[in-house]
Structure 1
Amino acid sequence: MTVNATLRGTSGEPPIPAPVRRAEPTVWRNPHRQDAASVLAASAFCEADMRQAEARWRRFDPLLAQLFDGTEDGRIDSPLLPVAPDLSRTLLGDAPGSVWVKADHDLPVTGCIKARGGVYEVLAYAETLAKAAGLLRPGLSYAAFASDVFRDLFARHTVAVGSTGNLGFSVGVMGRALGFAVEVHMSHDAKAWKKQRLRELGARVVEHPGDYGLAVAAAREAFQDRSDAHFVDDEDSVDLFLGYAAAALDLQRQLAEAGIAVDAAHPLYVYLPCGVGGAPGGVTFGLTLLFGDAVRPVFVEPVAAPCMLVQLASGLDRSVSVYEAGLDNRTAADGLAVASASLLVARTVGRLIDAVVTVPDADLFRWLKVLWSGAGMRLEPSAASGFAALNRFLAETPPADVVSATHVVWTTGGAHLPEAEFATALARA
């Protein structure tokens, strides 16, 4: 991959803005954004990679339709929903435009965006094993992957992952449905209910005393020499990245069906909650392949854990953590509580990101309650971050800069949030 290894501040400015270091809400306009054509020309990935990922998804449609309710056509996708006028006015303020929600908080199978990467990578591994075993033949329906002969093969293998919860659940659901042994490595402070639902699937949960990054590192080391296992590396997986990238094709189709133009005169702002970066990075890459400079990705991070902002502001020659910026990585948005961003993602899409917006936990809970009472959306705190970011981003953006814009908030989880957890989150608002 061809990258410029250093992204530094200009005019002698510190690379990480002082408000970010003080954990204050910030709208960081990416000074390193370049035109899409230049970035894509230098990328290790191309549109053919995304199209191949989409083709693999479609090969597995018969299997997913057979295994999971809510996927009658085999597609793991969510609706694109218009935001009601009153709520839209609250979000937009004085800015023109329209607001839509890509409702991955209610995604089939897992109720979170991580299915797009986690489920996909398990399917890719299963296909690789089946091909090596000589089980694939021309014309075979992939519904056969649920048969005993395939399950006997998969039962001899383990799928492992490090996760704060939702990626682990996505890997666990798909892995166990095919008969794999599943092992999920989690930090000690990951939500107890997310650990419990994994155990109920039959997955082995391994808890680590450190944060998410240490859990991932421990899992990576444990499985690096295992020929009978596959480690889903949230920090460095090409399959995860491309599984997420294919989601751009779903949004493209839905925008066209809604009659929404995306071009230079009608920019598309997409608000993407960011943890380690795989999901928002893949979506950003896919949308840029389809819409070029007309798409304006805005990443959203907690004030205590803005790992992608810190990485992009500091440079790409080495991994930089939020701890180095004096931040503690403590946030109620557990899915975004990540100290170090994926360098694979930062190097691939760092010059495509329009801005990074950091938001405090209080805003997450406030918007979670607004969206539940005003729109019936059941979100995790991290999934509400995009609304908080849109509101803050537009408050600091001249209306003339977003004339004729469409704003899409990509929600990321919430449908499977237990009642007690959701009630507690509402109470915190």
Structure 2
Amino acid sequence: MSTGNDRFRDSARAAESAMRQVFPHTPLQRNALLSDRFGADIWLKREDLSPVRSYKLRGACNAMRKQAGQELFVCASAGNHAQGVAFMCQHLSVRGVIFMPVTTPQQKIQKTRMFGGERIEIHLVGDYFDDTLAAAQDWCAQRGGYFLSPFDDLDVIEGQASVAVEIEDQLGRAPDMVVLPVGGGGMSSGVASYFGDRTRGLFVEPAGGACLRAALAAGHPVTLPHVDTFVDGAAVGRIGEKTYDLLRDTALSDVIVLSEDRICTTMIEMLNVEGIVLEPAGALSVEALSEMASQIRGKTVVCVTSGGNFDFERLPEVKERAQRYLGVKKYLILRLPQRPGALREFLEVLGPDDDIARFEYLKKSARNFGSVLLGIETRDADNFVRLFAHLDEAGFIYRDITNDETLSQFLI
């Protein structure tokens, strides 16, 4: 007797088959670095290598191909869904109206225009995705067209589940675990539904957009009071109703929440060591491995690297965040005596691996002391223990403002 899960798997397989007329499958690659580090068989499902550099093309392809005769599609997107819809508008020779947040990285806006060409128009509305979503839905209600949700649509979910179809075919079986980034829940709910109880799903969210964890804790979808847009591909303030229904039985222990700064360390390592360009959301699944190192040892684990649409103008910020998380860069307010030799005395306190990355007087008119904003980089976080001890011995007055959000926002 056929079950609902069997029917879903059949539908996902049909969706995956139809996609081959539009784009090739993405590779599943074993990663030796991560496998050796964690004593596991770690594979990366490289959705960052799709034609639009994210898995979002899958949902757009499946949903739009099912709307035969529809000539106008409307969507809201933080960037990746927009590119998928634009790509399919060009492929199907239909029109698209795409709403994106004003804060969307320029790289994603430009790529959307490139894929859609004259068949699309872009509206930049709102600072947060949920504001953009509301604007797109209002426009569609007033002017018509088919509104295509980036995640809360059963055809989109079915299309995203094709990721699991390919993983199973490429691996030759279902993996022991699959690590999935979560934004609105389209891909994570689709992949988890396809594998069912054959594979343990682990779900990863950025701290500034942990809408799945909030929904599971409340027992229903809730709207987050604030969303950090840094991980733009997963910065969603409210998980979808349909996606939540598919994920509602997820154990809270299977949801991992990572700080935005921490995610940057994986982005830097993947770029420098592996030559893999990942956007913040695309690095979520890889960074989560260290959270469950004891659980994955000896297991076959697939991490879905969900996207690689990264604007390299953001690289200095990513490096900065990674350094601060690792503790190798700090910012201090130093009270420096206004007398000859004071600066030399401070410089003599620095160790051989300490480097001044920023030096700025904040109040140059002080008669006895001047406040200096210092940025210091070092090779080992433990060097700061020595530095602070030497500053104390020398009688310098200082304040570490690295993790002071208010001061950092205005001074750094």
Q: Distance in 1 between matches of 2:280 and 2:19?
A: 32
Q: 1:124 aligns with which of 66, 71, 94?
A: 66
Contact 1:165 1:190 in 2 (8 A): yes
Q: 1:56 Cα shift?
A: 4.3
**Is the contact between residue 284 and residue 352 of structure 1 (CA under 8 Å) also seen in structure 2?**
no
| 1:216 positional shift | 1.2
Distance 1:123 1:360, change over 3 A: same
1:147-296 equivalences under 5 Å are: 157-200=71-114, 201-202=117-118, 203-224=120-141, 229-256=145-172, 262=174, 268-288=176-196, 292=197, 294-296=198-200
Q: Deviations over 1:165-218 (max 9, x none)?
A: 000111111112322111111222222332233234332111222421121122
1:417 aligns with 2:304: no
The AA in structure 1 aligned to 2:66 is A
Is the alpha carbon distance of 1:88 and 1:331 closer, same or farther for their aligned partners in structure 2, counting shifts above 3 Å? farther
> What amino acid sits opposite 1:255 in the alignment?
L
Calculate the aligned-residue CA RMSD, in Å: 2.4
Q: 2:216 aligns with which of 297, 309, 312?
A: 312
**TM-score under structure 2 length normalisation:** 0.71
Who wins on radius of gyration, i.e. which is larger?
A: 2
Deviation at 1:373, TM superposition (A): 1.8
Letter in 2 for 1:178: L
Asked whether the equivalents of residues 5 and 194 of structure 2 are also in contact (C-alpha less than 8 Å), the reply is no
Q: What secondary structure does 1:322 align onto?
A: coil
Counterpart selection for 1:82 from 23, 27, 30: 30
Cα distance, 1:419 vs structure 2: 4.2
The alignment of Structure 1 onto Structure 2 pairs a total of residues equal to: 317
Instruction: Give 1:333's aligned residue.
Output: 231
Give 1 or 2: higher strand fraction.
Answer: 2
Q: Does 1:301 align with 2:205?
A: yes
Amino acid at match of 2:43: W
Segments of 5+ residues of structure 2 without an aligned counterpart are: 323-412
Aligned partner of 2:44 in structure 1 is 101
Alignment of 1:321 with 2:321, yes or no, is no
- 1:90-147 C-alpha deviation (Å, 9 max, x unpaired): 3x2xxx422111111112x21111111122222222xx22xxxxxxxxxxxxxxxxxx
CA distance, structure 2, for counterparts of residue 360 and residue 311 of structure 1: 19
Q: Which amino acid aligns with 2:139?
A: A
Aligned amino acid, residue 276 of structure 1: G
CA distance change for structure 1 residues 284 and 162 in 2, over 3 Å: closer, same or farther?
A: same
Change (3 A) 1:87 1:236: closer
Are the structure 2 counterparts of residues 269 and 56 from structure 1 closer, same or farther at C-alpha, using a change threshold of 3 Å?
closer
What's the secondary structure of 2:52's corresponding residue?
coil
8 Å Cα contact 1:331-1:361 kept in structure 2: no
Greater RCO structure (CA 8 Å; 6+ sep): 1
Are the aligned partners of 1:114 and 1:166 in contact in 2 as well (CA < 8 Å)? yes
Q: Structure 1 residue 346 and structure 2 residue 244: aligned?
A: yes
Report the Cα distance in structure 2 between the residues aligned to 1:420 and 1:402, rounded to whole angstroms.
35
Q: Which residue of 2 aligns with 1:114?
A: 56
For the Cα contact (< 8 Å) 1:247–1:286, is it kept in 2? no
Partner Cα distance (1:322, 1:392) in 2: 24
Give the conservation status (yes or no) of the 8 Å contact 2:75–2:97: yes
Deviates most, 276-285 or 216-225: 216-225
Identity %: 23
| Distance change (3 Å), C-alpha of 1:214 and 1:60 | same
Residue 290 of structure 2: aligned partner: 391
Structure 1 211/100 Cα, relative in aligned 2: closer, same or farther at 3 Å?
same
In structure 1, C-alpha distance between the alignment counterparts of 2:228 and 2:19, rounded to whole Å: 38
SS of the residue 2:190 aligns to: helix
Q: 1:286 to 1:424 in 2, by over 3 A?
A: same
CA contact (8 A) 1:334 1:382 kept: yes
CA 235–218 in structure 1, closer or farther in 2 if over 3 Å, else same? farther
Match among 249, 259, 275 for residue 360 of structure 1:
259
Alignment partners' CA distance in 2, 1:412 and 1:49: 22
- Distance change (3 Å), C-alpha of 1:270 and 1:56: closer
Contact residue 245 and residue 287 of structure 1 kept, 8 A: no
Q: What secondary structure is seen at the aligned counterpart in 1 of 2:213? A: helix
CA displacement at 1:428 relative to structure 2: 4.7
Structure 1 runs not aligned, ≥5 long: 1-39, 65-70, 130-153
Offset of residue 425 of structure 1: 3.6
Q: Which moved more, 1:164-173 or 1:346-355?
A: 346-355
1-side partners of 2:186 and 2:18: how far apart?
23
Q: Secondary structure at the match of 1:46?
A: helix
TM-fit CA distance, 1:406: 1.3
In structure 2, how many angstroms separate the alpha carbons of the residues matched to 1:162 and 1:216?
5
Partner Cα distance (1:192, 1:384) in 2: 20
Asked if 2 retains the 8 angstrom alpha-carbon contact of 1:380 and 1:422, the reply is no
Instruction: State the SS of the aligned residue for 1:332.
Output: coil
| Displacement of 1:310 | 0.4
Q: Which segments of structure 1 move beyond 6 Å, counting only runs of 4 or more?
A: none
User: Equivalents in 1 of 2:60, 2:140: separation in Å?
Assistant: 17
CA distance in 2, matches of 1:197, 1:422: 18
Contact 1:87 1:374 in 2 (8 A): no
